[in-house]
Amino acid sequence: MENFTFYAPTYFDFGKGAEQHVGELVRRFGGKKVLFHYGGGSIVKSGLYDTVKKCLEAEGIAYVELGGVKPNPRSGLVYEGIELCRREGVDFILAVGGGSVIDSSKAIAAGCCYDGDFWDFYSGKAKIQQAVPVGTILTIAAAGSEGSTNSVITNEETGYKKGAGSDVLRPKFSILNPEFTCSLPPYQTAAGATDIMIHICERYFSNTEEVEITDRLCEAVLKTMIHETPRVIEDPQNYDARANIMWAGMLAHNNVCGVGRVQDWASHHIEHELSALYDVTHGAGLAVIAPAWMRYVLKINPHKLVQFALRVWDIEPRENEEKTALKGIEAFERFLKDIGMPLTFAEIGADEKDAELMTSKLLNTKDTEGNYVQLRAEDVMKIYHYAATGEM
């Protein structure tokens, strides 16, 4: 096990009616003038929009609004948010929505405290030192941004989709009421579940030895997702299954499952190029990329894929490691297919002719991607090739 620090001081308020506490929580964490940041009409339809306004007003908290966050959130709205916050003297950002809204809020929060271009944080030119405090009301179980230090933004001008992170971006509070996720369509639900599972896989696939406790925690979250996801696909109104998935989504990305080990993150970064180019739902992109990544690295480094097969998918050991591991990957692919996720470029409208462009963007500032296996450009090309053709 490697040395580590772990600090996750987000206050979680989980369950039915938790959104009613938003005013009191904003006040508790020092918010006097709030940016109320959200996406489109779904929070209006669910009544959450009105509830938030009512709760803020009841506490006498002033606010300005900025809606319009889209999936794969864009830099343009972040610039607009930063300007609005500065002009209005905002001291707290309230993100109401899914991971895109929270990520957009985090980018605005960091950008407000920085004299340069906020994109410097995402391009790697600068490190986030300070941010306006952020609180969230989560409405989609997927990104884990409600408990994480991270944010991913797409630069509209350059087409780059990049992440940035800092302890100061960890939300002060997050309100999680699973009822708000019950109206999510099956495709988005399944894409969210896939994202959650791959957040775990990025941590699970590690060469760090002797990390039994985090291995077991990772397996616990994956087992939960395998059990609960088909239940919500079949019955979207199943509160308890939604609740288990929602909390699993937070645990998958606040890093409690990732401490003390080198993590991978190749699948995420390879997928980011896909969703930056085609604006595909991130989780759906991961369903295409992650199994292709697994099939590719299997030939080079099978050991953790064997454990994945045995412990997560309950595969009986086969005549050799590779065959055992392959059965695990096949079980995962079958699972993804059954919950309605795509597995190929064709299903998401991607084209292999862009593989070279995506690979060069991915590796524009580094020679390799990932840690479980360090992938060079030719390796990444082969993963895109498998996703496009089903042939290794």
CA distance 284 to 339: 11
| Residue 141 binding a copy of itself, by CB under 8 A | no
Residues 161, 276: contact at Cβ < 8 Å? yes
The answer to whether 102 contacts a copy of itself (rule: CB under 8 A) is no
H/E element, 347: helix 345-348
* Residue 237 Cβ vs a copy of itself, minimum distance, rounded to whole Å: 14
Could you say whether residue 125 binds a copy of itself (CB under 8 A)?
no
Computed on alpha carbons and rounded to an integer, the radius of gyration of the chain in Å comes to 20
Q: Based on CB atoms, which residue is closest to a copy of itself, 4 or 237?
A: 4
Contacts of 213 (CB under 8 A, 6+ apart): none
Among 152, 197, 248, 373, binds a copy of itself (CB under 8 A): 248
Residue 142 interacts with a copy of itself (CB under 8 A)? no
Task: Specify which residues 134 forms β-bridges with.
Answer: 93
144 close to 250: Cβ distance less than 8 angstroms: yes
Q: How far is the CB of 259 from a copy of itself (least distance, A)?
A: 7
> How many CB atoms are located within 10 Å of the residue 390 CB?
13
259-298 positions binding a copy of itself, by CB under 8 A: 259-260
What lies within 8 Å, CB to CB, of 272 at 6+ separation is 152, 161, 162, 163, 362
Verify binding: residue 213, a copy of itself, rule CB under 8 A. Answer: yes
- Shortest CB 17 distance to a copy of itself, Å: 7
Q: Which of 149, 224, 229, 281 binds a copy of itself (CB under 8 A)?
A: 224
Contact 30, 93 (CB under 8 A): no
- Ramachandran area for residue 265 (φ above 0: left; ψ -120 to 50: alpha; else beta): left
Minimum distance, C-beta of residue 255 to a copy of itself, in the bound complex (Å): 11
Nearer to a copy of itself, 156 or 209 (CB): 209
3-state secondary structure of 350: coil
Over the window 191 to 210, marking each residue x when it contacts a copy of itself by CB under 8 A and - when it does not, the resulting string is ------------------xx
Q: Which of 142, 243, 266, 358 binds a copy of itself (CB under 8 A)?
A: 243
How does DSSP classify residue 128? Answer: -
CA distance 156 to 223: 37
Of 219, 264, 273, 333, the one binding a copy of itself by CB under 8 A: 219
Out of 156, 240, 338, 356, name the contact with a copy of itself by CB under 8 A.
240
In whole angstroms, the minimum distance from the beta carbon of 234 to a copy of itself comes to 15
Contact status: 4 vs a copy of itself (CB under 8 A): yes
CB of 219 to a copy of itself, least distance (A): 7
Please name which of 338, 372, 350, 55 lies closest in space to residue 194, comparing C-alpha atoms.
338
| Best CA proximity match to 336, nearest among 187, 205, 221 | 187
- CA distance readout (Å), 97 to 162, 181, 229, 303: 20, 10, 20, 39
Minimum distance from CB of 181 to a copy of itself (Å)? 13
Measured from the CB atom, the residue of 18 and 143 that comes closer to a copy of itself is: 18
* Contact residue for a copy of itself among 93, 96, 217, 336 (CB under 8 A): 217
Determine if 365 is a binding residue for a copy of itself (CB under 8 A).
no
Residue of the chain from 64, 113, 168, 256 that contacts a copy of itself (CB under 8 A): 256
Identify which of 158, 138, 139, 155 has the alpha carbon closest to the alpha carbon of residue 147: 138
Q: Which is nearer to a copy of itself, 114 or 239 (CB)?
A: 239
Interface with a copy of itself (CB under 8 A): 1-18, 209-213, 216-217, 219-221, 223-224, 227-228, 240-241, 243-244, 247-248, 251, 256, 259-260
